[in-house]
Structure 1
Amino acid sequence: MHLLKTLCAFPAPSGEEAGLTQFVLDYVREHGPGWRQPPLVVHDENRLQDCLVLVFGQPRTAVFTHLDSIGFMVRYGRGLVPIGGPETEIGYQLVGEDAQGKIACTLAVTKTEDEDGDETEALGYEFSRAVAPGTSLTFACDFRETDTTVQSCYLDNRLGLWVALKLAETLEHGILAFSCGEEHGGGSVPYLARFIYEQYGVRQALICDITWASEGVRPGQGCAISRRDSAIPRRSYVERIRRLAEAAGVPYQLEVEEHGGSDGRELQRADVAWDWCFVGAPEENVHTPHELVHKADIASMLALYQVLLREL
């Protein structure tokens, strides 16, 4: 779990993925020559900005996994605004860096006066000095591992990134697409999807991300194959994936939700006819510093991706 721990501690909130993109590039350059099929690396800031595409062999399926995380941005007067949808429990430890140095502060409620002089409360931070407006803050990483679980901030979606990099070790044919901005409205997948379609003719996808545990998707019982969230993928494609999982004996759970979303929603809105399905492990304590995932579900997720990239 050393790689996963490193990824979870790497600050990359939406809009600031460049450092993590470079980390992944360096990782691929170091380890890629030893993989079964060394990939073609596509990193073009003019066309893809901070996104990254790895192309293996003769691809039929693309795996989309997002690099960014939730977080906070410093506003004025010790105020904070969320990046994405983080949970905001007072006392959470936050870290970052501005021109004056490193920051280790605490999530708090600040009191200010509005235009009428009335006192209002807003999300803020406690620290020994003022932090420069525009500075991003992320949860301090406390990575915890047991025989059966891992727990940390940002398992969503550093665990999806970890699965993609482990999948890369044995992948012969496929595309790994690392997207940006998913946690704060998306936006990178449409141009990624068009690039992949135009260059390689691929138009079926898997969304390698983390979902939430629910009354129907229980921790430790296998990764989730999502029938729907706020978007609905094509049933015939989801059923193909379910049949392949069953034939391979990989444990999974069928997810049916009304809310939530992923890069799949962006594919559904694209101007190319993409098939897509979300396949990911469930977690507890979503969008907190204490996200918890069972190792059995991680194993199920990786095994299913290995099957699907061979068979789809």
Structure 2
Amino acid sequence: MSAPPLCEGRVVIITGAGRGLGRAHALAYAAEGARLVVNDLGVGLDGTPAADSPARQVAEEIRAAGGEAVAHGGDIATTEGAASLVRVALETYGRLDTLVNNAGFLRDRMLVNLGEDDWDAVMRVHLKGHFLPLRQAAAHWRAEARAGRVPDARVVNTSSGAGLLGSVGQGNYSAAKAGIVALTLVAAAETARYGVQVNAIAPAARTRMTERAFADTMAAPAEGFDVMDPGNVSPLVVWLGSAASAGVTGRVFETEGGRITVMEGWRPGPSVDKGARWTPAEAGETARGLLARADTPGTVYGAR
């Protein structure tokens, strides 16, 4: 007798689900029995409006395969857009179990050429676009817990290797993705009492944001395992969004192809305590001694 689908009966919101990773996540959740709210604003790679409705297309694809899905085209980086996202889930399905924050776009520039508008736009979509849906979902789950209906809720946020190591030409994107990691840690600590688990992934896959910048790396092979297929990332995202991931929260996973890595963040390394104030020369000499004993940090993407 086969096991029941991993997410049978769960209601899942996925932002940025019209293409790439988000679409792959939506299809994978639907295959495991989830009911979907497919969000996508339907904009181009740089955030400008596009003519089609990718969220509607993905929802129709899920329904055609026998699943349940509804499209949402609102701007989740606004309070009303994020509120309507959660409202659609509750009005359509009567509950909300999992939020997958995935929406994003790029405006890459070297720091000296990075305009304030490009900085703000990327921060808005990636970081604010994580915060506002998370806040709306958490408020719902808190209300449920206070009413005696403690949920078994999950949030999966989307960071990046750029947020963990940095990436040349992507100062805005790297800073936003690093912020998402910190937001994940705080949210996991704050919402645990309401029955919520919050984790993040740092995926590497072929999407509109990577297939141009890393064309050689992202190209699909003529045959064999397609390491950069975005569908490779989705199984972990589905598991993290299911009840099966009980007890896993406040963690970051890097995932690429067939590899899954638990990322270990900032933690104390070599240390010296003088018990009194250092002189600048003493502080410098001590710092150099500590660095000699410390692990070498990872290389920033694109650094020479």
Normalising by structure 1, we get a TM-score of: 0.30
Normalising by structure 2, we get a TM-score of: 0.30
Relative to its length, the structure with more strand (as a share) is 1
Higher RCO (C-alpha under 8 Å, 6+ residues apart): 1
